[in-house]
A and B are shown apart, each in its own frame.
Chain A
Amino acid sequence: MTNIIETKNLTRKFGDFTAVDNVTFDVQTGEVFAFLGPNGAGKTTTIKMLTTLLRPTSGELWINGHDPVHEQHQARQSFGIVFQDPSLDNELTAYENMQFHAILYGLHAHEYKERIPMLLELVGLTDKKNNYVKTFSGGMKRRLEIARGLLHKPKVLFLDEPTIGLDPQTRNHIWNYIKELNQKENVTIFFTTHHMEEVERMATRVAIIDHGKILTMGTIEDILTQAGTDRLEDAFIKLTGSAIRDEAGNAALNRMRVSNKMMR
């Protein structure tokens, strides 16, 4: 097994605030890796660095053997991502959003003409495919973003709180598909979530991060043993404390995140 993702002493500062602090971990090819932590722990910042959107302050990282800072293009060819924040064009229809993505990722017409209807069916948006995204509810937008993230078959798929705002039926449906993708196509899954039952169901390995630092890493059993609890949720709370967090981070970016969430 080779490591498809590796980080070494990865650090990202926003002014005085250290969002990601000396983080080292690796993910093996074909794993389903859950990256957990309270709000503002540094999950999204880590994902942004891995996906070339943010430059690290210091440290090293590789995705599929490429450095996202210096080999951006090769790194980008290796992954797909479902962002935590909205990322759709509201003035286009659902189908047009999918098509835009497909062409941007170099899919041929015969491929995407088959895959788009299949994925829209998966997320239950077939009859809405010609509606403008601006008429969609938050949950529908989320489903469309997931369908879009699954369009091309990357080596690594990043899912940043993919199931936020979705009902159990849809979540079940989507996770089944992702599991299949992982098993049949050997796509590595790197995901964050606040639903511990999704982790218990999906993850082969888990890392828990808080205040920018990795607290623990291992299989679910390892973490339960370490925390001395029966349930992952209890282990999570025991390790990260029960205080409620604000989303800190870069103030301007954070304002944008909050307003984006409200726009949903």
Chain B
Amino acid sequence: MTAIYILWRRQLTRFVRTRSRIIGALGQPIIFLVAIGFGLNPIFQKAGGGNYIQFLAPGIIVMTVLFTSIFTGLEIIWDKQFGFLKETFVAPVPRWQILLGKVLGGATVAMIQGFLVFAITLVAGFRPMHWSSLPLAFLFLFLVAMVSSTFGAAVAARLDDMQAFPLIFNFLVQPLFYLSGAIFPLKNLPMLMDFITKINPFSYGVDGLRYAFSGVNVFSPWTSAAVLVGVFIILMAFGVYQFSKVQL
């Protein structure tokens, strides 16, 4: 178990040392908040959707957590290229512990980043309904972080260089975000869109977070939590399998 701890701590140590990355990762959420949030707010309100910032903020927080933790998962590719993965993989530590340590590290880093963005949304005028709902919100956020870091790690395990990164980011991660109900409500959608958003696990993350913050939800929060936990377990099993196939 100490192996999980040291892998987690390494991720955290590396994170706090890269200030430029911490600041850099705040850029995109801020642009979203300002350009899309304030830009579409008048139309959203006219359409009877209420305050758009209030609607969008949970989506942006999820976006931050999703992108950050996927990226941390993909750092495995760097470890491979710099040879550090060999050092980890010859150690007498079961693969699931290595994966879990990395995933927990990635998720923790993403949570910190998500918390920073949460603070920014507060400045932009976002207000949670009850402050007492914050623990539930962060629980949902943590599930999102675990799911996406496991996803990133499982995908990265079999890739040899970062050249595949744009492919994964543009064709997998971005669609997962845009089709998750983060920027538009999952109501009255065309059938295909409705289907896609419902099989996207991150829809349940966004919805759960929105429920915790504003009491608005499409799915039952229990369903959302169950879907996220279920997907995490499946991805974890897939990740352990991927890790066991790695040859260096």
Residues of A within 8 A of B (CB): 48, 51-55, 73, 76-77, 79, 81, 83, 85-92, 96, 99-101, 103-106, 148, 252, 256, 259-260, 263
Residues of B within 8 A of A (CB): 2-3, 5-7, 10, 13-14, 17-18, 79, 81-84, 86-94, 160, 247-248
Point out the residue from A79, A87, A92 that lies within 8 Å of B86, measured CB to CB: A87
Shortest CB–CB separation between residue B13 and chain A, in angstroms?
7
B2 and chain A: residue at smallest CB distance: A103
Q: Is the Cβ of A73 less than 8 Å from the Cβ of B92?
A: yes
Q: List 12 A-B contacts (CB under 8 A).
A: A48-B248, A53-B89, A53-B90, A76-B91, A87-B87, A89-B84, A91-B13, A100-B6, A100-B10, A104-B3, A104-B91, A263-B82
Given the interface pairs A48-B248, A53-B248, the reply to whether A106 lies near B13 with Cβ below 8 Å is no
Given the interface pairs A83-B83, A91-B14, A91-B17, the reply to whether A51 lies near B92 with Cβ below 8 Å is no
Shortest CB–CB separation between residue A42 and chain B, in angstroms?
16
A74 and chain B: residue at smallest CB distance: B92
* 7 A-B pairs closest in CB distance: A87-B83, A103-B6, A76-B92, A77-B92, A104-B91, A87-B87, A53-B248
Q: Is the Cβ of A96 less than 8 Å from the Cβ of B13?
A: yes
Q: Is the Cβ of A103 less than 8 Å from the Cβ of B3?
A: yes
CA–CA, A22 and B83, complex, Å: 28
A73 and chain B: residue at smallest CB distance: B92
B81 and chain A: residue at smallest CB distance: A256
> How many inter-chain contacts with C-beta < 8 Å in the A-B complex?
81
A54 and chain B: residue at smallest CB distance: B247
A80 and chain B: residue at smallest CB distance: B90
CB-defined contacts of A88 to chain B, threshold 8 Å: 82-84, 87
CA–CA, A89 and B89, complex, Å: 14
Point out the residue from A53, A105, A256 that lies within 8 Å of B160, measured CB to CB: A256
CB-defined contacts of B5 to chain A, threshold 8 Å: 103
CB-defined contacts of B82 to chain A, threshold 8 Å: 86-90, 260, 263
CB-defined contacts of A148 to chain B, threshold 8 Å: 87
CB-defined contacts of B83 to chain A, threshold 8 Å: 83, 85-88, 260
CA–CA, A88 and B83, complex, Å: 7
CB-defined contacts of B18 to chain A, threshold 8 Å: 91
CB-defined contacts of A92 to chain B, threshold 8 Å: 10, 13-14
Shortest CB–CB separation between residue A55 and chain B, in angstroms?
6
A81 and chain B: residue at smallest CB distance: B90
CA–CA, A72 and B101, complex, Å: 19
Interface centre among A77, A100, A106, A256 (most CB of B within 10 A): A100
Q: Is the Cβ of B247 less than 8 Å from the Cβ of A53?
A: yes
CA–CA, A100 and B84, complex, Å: 11
CB-defined contacts of A73 to chain B, threshold 8 Å: 92, 94
Shortest CB–CB separation between residue B6 and chain A, in angstroms?
4
A148 and chain B: residue at smallest CB distance: B87
B84 and chain A: residue at smallest CB distance: A89
Shortest CB–CB separation between residue B18 and chain A, in angstroms?
8
CB-defined contacts of A105 to chain B, threshold 8 Å: 91-92
